[in-house]
Structure 1
Amino acid sequence: MSRRFARLVELSGLPPVRLHDLRHLAATLALLAGHDIKVVQEKLGHSSRQITSDTYTSVLPEMMRAEAESVMAVVPRDIPFEERTALAIPESAWLNGVAVFFAHGARQSGDTWAVGAQPQPGADVLGVIGLTGRGQDDAANAAVRWIRDHSTANELELVRVENVNDQYPEEQRADFPLVRLTVARTARRTPNRRQKVA
């Protein structure tokens, strides 16, 4: 089997690699993919986790970096933005004291984004912000902060945020964040039905 493998490698034009090297590659990829080191140890048949850890120490810094980044990804970052058009939620968007609308962003160029709020995709834009960020997550975080700031200033409450990026084809998702937001009027802002409308 080893001779046959060596011949296939030779015919492929790849750099020399041994059949045993595939074992190391599989273990390295498993660790980088986030598999528990105990699981990898058992797959390889090592007698202890320490042997696996010692053998793949070069992979561990990359794993630690990836883990740190994944933890940081869930921590909301304060992304500065500029309000280009003030947000105005029309009365027609409210139903029983609740308004649902979308913050739809688009990469304009490089790391510059524009995010607009709409009551539904394709409807008139209720407001627009611009920002410079590192990607889709920054645009989504800025949109949430924009709506939260608007809600606080207008005695509203941001009650739900949903990432709905799965509505885009996968190859487009890096350039188009889409967030559905639910805002509620607080008790002080809910119109009193008994009051006469002027």
Structure 2
Amino acid sequence: MKNSMNNGFDPSERQKILRIAIFYGISLLLSLLIIVISVTFFVMIIYLEGKVSSEFLYIFVSVVIVNFAISALSIRGLMGLYGSFQSEHTDRRTIVFSINNKSHASAERPSAPKLNPEYFTDLELEIIDMLKNHGNRILQSDIAKTINASKASISRVITSLESKGVVVRMRKGVTNEIILVETNFK
């Protein structure tokens, strides 16, 4: 059983990933410290002696380049592990529905939730209306043909509606089928 606290990893895998992250973090800090010390030492030598031998210059440049490479690899490793430490439930939903709180007779069913237009752009509302008029599902290519907006704009709007939990995008051939999640709202 997956535990959201462990992000789907068993404790031994989680410990292993944590040890790798600690290794990358320590190597990053040490390589940056070596760079700072090397540069400080180089500046002191130039200040005190006024000149530097070519051998010393080669050693200095080599040390700095190697430690920059170690730093870059450590950062890349930490970025690769970043996803392992994210919670499974990091996506946040915005409340986009409001429920009509009028009193109802005991035999009546409460009214369906109503879309709260303040959480939607005009284009989002237009796509939602189009979905309601087409049986709560429509191809994305048909939306692009009907609405006067670019395909990229429509794709961004649909992504926004997905993040708000209003629609689901399902791959269908070379296009997507957009399905309205809430079929009973006004």
Structure that is richer in helix per residue: 2
Question: Relative contact order, CA 8 A, sep 6+: which one is greater?
Answer: 2
Higher Cα Rg, which structure: 2
Normalised TM-score (structure 1): 0.22
- TM-score of the aligned structures, taking structure 2 as reference length: 0.23
User: Which structure has greater strand proportion?
Assistant: 1
